[in-house]
Structure 1
């Protein structure tokens, strides 16, 4: 008799746009893992009940997207170190009634930049735009790559200063970390990362094109079929550009590895999704 497939979900609101079920289906086929992965529209005021019901029904794990990552963090019985550093959870694992939480976003970002794009962060000057949850999740993985300097810029300076303070609590950090408002950004950078929601809203950021140094990589955590406003601006200024599709795939691969103990190959998945070869 064939055993039932292990069940996984991604919780979000909205969630119809999510490519996660497609990505995990490819991963499962590639690694011969018997699982079923679906998306679930959780009520804005019903996330915890939705998770506990899924766990009670035998669910093995879940991903969490907007707007539930902070609620997921509070819901967990145990947290990985990177989840604690991020203050948010995007990956849940259920073991004997215990909810374990992790955050794979930052690891996915760094892997896409360093491995897929072939861009070393060591001794580089990095500008991180935004001081919200996305920046917080990326902070420790970025600093572990030993850039020379990390400037965290945000509309509200106090929020950027909070992240600099958080960075100072990490055990082995040799990078100079600086907080800045939009107006206080000085000089040119080797890597500029947009971790704000501006691209989702179709808005430009109030920064100068002079921030993009020679051979600069401009990275937007968001992705679209067309260049986001940030990437269009960066490309016009002469930067190399890369959107967040690779980050999405790599954070999913990290979650898959946590659940199944096998790491899927991502290069062909990226190529297929970029070319629209699979739906």
Structure 2
């Protein structure tokens, strides 16, 4: 490796990743000397690839689908939010040679909601759709914002109950089947399922979004996702997707690695303009 500090994102698939561009933008903005690349790493090659990366002088990694749980197991030190989520999207080489694992997804979401979109979470009724890894990564940071309640809805309600049990000590949180949501309403609905990727919608009851309520799809695309379109039809005050979260979780990882917090607004604006045009 060259004199520049080296970083990368591992995943499979990885060819469409925006992470190299995002981190290069942050590096130029903060005058940091580094290189960041995207590397195709299937799950079965993860451990060997990570060891080789750090052995050759790599400083930090991002890990995306399907590697976040494997990264959690690999890290020999973990932040509290990584421990809770049981998934790691950021690995950082420490001065003592250990590898710190963090999950910046949840704080990236919270930052995008609050800072970029003025969506407050305190004292709000929040519905999270899905009880998989994406939900697991965001629940803890949302709880830290002291919402009135969090409801986790999932097709298999037992999976939602298991997730709720792990986070119940941090604040009010309940599990629900989709059919049991009828008659309830929420200030914020977050789609943490993968349904948007197949242009599908979770089975949501009518009138589930409160007046002036907001919706957020963790997925993002060049065109509005089906969930974003559904939210607009429900009269959502704001109907957002995960592009801002992508940038903000990257900013948090950059800060963990470099000790410098990049500004994200200009980059989000640039990426938004590109997909509108």
TM-score w.r.t. length of structure 2: 0.95
**Mapping 1:251-270, distance limit 5 Å:** 251-270=249-268
Name the residue aligned to 1:227: 224
Name the residue aligned to 2:209: 212
> What stretches of structure 1 of length at least 5 have no aligned partner?
none
Which string of whole-angstrom CA distances, capped at 9 and with x for unpartnered residues, describes residues 191-248 of structure 1? 0000000111221211123111101111000111111111111111111200000000
Q: Report which of the two has the higher share of helix.
A: 2
Name the residue aligned to 1:273: 271
Q: CA RMSD in A?
A: 1.2
Shift of 1:77: 0.8
Shift of 1:28: 0.1
Counterpart-to-counterpart distance in 2, 1:198 and 1:97: 40
Shift of 1:97: 3.3
Q: 1:178 aligns with which of 174, 190, 203?
A: 174
Shift of 1:158: 0.7
Equivalenced residue count is 271
TM-score w.r.t. length of structure 1: 0.95
Local SS of the residue matching 1:40 = strand
Counterpart-to-counterpart distance in 2, 1:154 and 1:24: 34
Dislocated runs of 4+, deviation >3 Å = none
Shift of 1:275: 0.7
> What stretches of structure 2 of length at least 5 have no aligned partner?
none
Name the residue aligned to 1:29: 28
Q: Is the Cα contact below 8 Å between 1:209 and 1:233 reproduced in 2? A: no
Q: Is the Cα contact below 8 Å between 1:209 and 1:234 reproduced in 2? A: no
Local SS of the residue matching 1:251 = helix
Q: Does 1:38 align with 2:37?
A: yes
Name the residue aligned to 1:134: 134
Shift of 1:169: 3.0
**Mapping 1:157-176, distance limit 5 Å:** 157-170=157-170, 173=171, 176=172
**Mapping 1:60-139, distance limit 5 Å:** 60-95=59-94, 96-139=96-139
Counterpart-to-counterpart distance in 2, 1:99 and 1:134: 23
